[in-house]
Structure 1
Amino acid sequence: MFHRLRQICLVARDLDPVVAELCDVFGVAVCHRDPEVGMFGLHNALMPLGHGFIEVVAPLAPGKAAAAERHLDRRGGDGGYMVITDTDDLARWEPHLAATGVRIAAPLEMGAYRGLQLHPRDTGGALLEINTTRGNTGPDGAAIDAPYGPAGPDWQAHIRTGTVTAITGARLQAADPERLGRRWAEILRRDLRPESDGWALDLDNARIRFEPDRDGRGEGLGGVDLAVADEAGLRRRAAARFLPVADDHVVIGGVRFHIGG
């Protein structure tokens, strides 16, 4: 059995500028725009960072995407929205989620892909999704480069690793990081441990950290950890776009992307 961090989703008022910044600064390319998200009043773009994905969603028009627009209003603009994981078998998760008092906000199905989007009031921190792709399982789990429905039919051809090689973690901020961390550890069935500046749990390929509110925007997905091959180039392109650049991160779409994880 495996359980991996597969995708991070940002929400923006305006899709194209944030996508352009991500593609330029990280040296990546859009692999898919999914028409299915139109049912939620959204449009989107996905970019592979190694074998993980950054997705950006935005309302198609004002008043068309109530949940996303509430999130934008609550957190004061563009920012982190969803943490998306993949696993080998959703059937074993459904009774566990019910036992821990987590409602399914949206069941998703598209071909061989099936996902469970969890209710954020029951998880705290961010929207959390667990998904699987039928046929991509085996004794050692699904190959990381196997088909993955949300990313389109040929996402592997769009991988660019000259600047960023992988997503290595997500950072959730809260007034009480320990409480949030314990809730996510219960839901994800992972052990929570203390760190110098908060708490953390490990998935098979990534770390989820729980930290104090670092930007005054309240509880939410505040940061993403990256493995980087060309830090100098990344910093140079971020500065050329007048994006905030700090010692250990750059800010794009309201999210702190931590360089080096």
Structure 2
Amino acid sequence: MTRLRLRQLVIAAETSEVADQLQSVLDLGEPFADPGVAEFGLENAVFAIGDQFLEVIWPVKDDAPVQRFLKRNGEGGYMAIFQTDDIKAARARLDGAGIRRVWNIDLDDIAASHIHPADVGAAIVSLDEAHPWESWRWAGPHWESNSIEGELSGAILESPDPNALASRWAAALGVPASTHPDVTRIQLEDDQTLVFQPGEETKLEGFCITLNSAMKALERADKLDLHSNGDGVHIGGVRLVLNNEA
């Protein structure tokens, strides 16, 4: 059976300030700045949480593709990267379903395909196969030493028609969506969950993050005058839903 897990979530921001806020609130280690994103007119910061990653990107060129997203939506959830152990099968499934691939790369240690956001909705979806499975080129050579304890346990997506959005994501990911009375979900490896719920706009609204001490993170957010309430804090247009490790 094909393996599939959420490996990285991405925020599109106007400037690097969002990366600084994220690092301060979550007490993250040193980020990796990937020179490869210059191809897209960007700079970035990639932070490690366990063996998963939070990335913030911001444009440094007026014609950067992300500028269209920022002008249309403002800062917010931009991309979700899923790790598969069979990129060849994933690409064949996408092509057979008429789901467009807009960027592909095949390197010795990783292969990836980005899906056109219009074909899934809410965000860009990327399917990546890493060799070995535990590695992750996009986080740089030293991410393990800069990682903090925790995990990305899922994401929250909103849409006026959440069931239709979930169906499109399920088709792209090759996994089923399950509909309940009040919410639709896609379940992934490691108990990761994508939640699809009603909303006025179609967007990648929330990142679900498990930490050693969610309360301390919320306290740090309050000191920075960031909007926090209950179990979450808003940074870069994304609601971070923080949970304590069991």
Give TM-score, length-normalised by structure 1. 0.89
Instruction: Give the match for residue 70 of structure 1.
Output: 68
Q: Any idea what SS the aligned residue of 2:88 has?
A: coil
2:178 aligned with 1:211, yes or no? no
Say whether the 8 Å CA contact 1:108–1:117 is kept in structure 2.
no
Structure 1 residue runs of 5 or longer lacking an equivalent are: 137-141
Structure 1: how far apart are the matches of 2:180 and 2:105? 35
Identical aligned pairs, as a percentage?
30
2:213 aligned with 1:235, yes or no? no
In the TM superposition, what is the alpha-carbon distance from 1:7 to its structure 2 partner? Answer: 0.1
Q: Any idea what SS the aligned residue of 1:260 has?
A: strand
Structure 2: how far apart are the matches of 1:127 and 1:20? 23
Q: Any idea what SS the aligned residue of 2:210 has?
A: strand
Structure 2: how far apart are the matches of 1:71 and 1:242? 26
Structure 1: how far apart are the matches of 2:207 and 2:233? 10
2:88 aligned with 1:91, yes or no? yes
CA distance 1:26–1:196, shift in 2 (3 Å):
farther
Say whether the 8 Å CA contact 1:10–1:79 is kept in structure 2.
yes
Structure 2 residue runs of 5 or longer lacking an equivalent are: none
Structure 1: how far apart are the matches of 2:212 and 2:181? 26
- Moved runs in structure 1, 4+ residues, more than 3 A? none
Structure 1: how far apart are the matches of 2:30 and 2:71? 27
In the TM superposition, what is the alpha-carbon distance from 1:196 to its structure 2 partner? Answer: 5.2
Structure 2: how far apart are the matches of 1:30 and 1:197? 39
Instruction: Give the match for residue 36 of structure 2.
Output: 36
Instruction: Give the match for residue 155 of structure 1.
Output: 143
Which AA in structure 2 matches 1:245? Answer: S
CA distance 1:188–1:8, shift in 2 (3 Å):
same
In the TM superposition, what is the alpha-carbon distance from 1:228 to its structure 2 partner? Answer: 2.4
Structure 2: how far apart are the matches of 1:27 and 1:210? 28
Structure 1: how far apart are the matches of 2:155 and 2:11? 12
Say whether the 8 Å CA contact 1:174–1:211 is kept in structure 2.
yes
Q: Any idea what SS the aligned residue of 2:189 has?
A: coil
In the TM superposition, what is the alpha-carbon distance from 1:112 to its structure 2 partner? Answer: 1.6
In the TM superposition, what is the alpha-carbon distance from 1:197 to its structure 2 partner? Answer: 3.7
Say whether the 8 Å CA contact 1:42–1:64 is kept in structure 2.
no
CA distance 1:133–1:231, shift in 2 (3 Å):
closer
2:190 aligned with 1:189, yes or no? no
Match 1:81 to one of 71, 78, 82: 78
1:102-140 superposed Cα distances (whole Å, 9 cap, x missing partner): 111111244421110001111112100000123x1xxxx
Structure 1: how far apart are the matches of 2:164 and 2:27? 37
Which AA in structure 1 matches 2:193? Answer: R
2:93 aligned with 1:106, yes or no? no
Q: What's the C-alpha RMSD, in Å, of the aligned pairs?
A: 1.5
In the TM superposition, what is the alpha-carbon distance from 1:64 to its structure 2 partner? Answer: 3.0
2:105 aligned with 1:119, yes or no? no
1:185-233 superposed Cα distances (whole Å, 9 cap, x missing partner): 12212121124542110111311111112xx5x2111101111221221
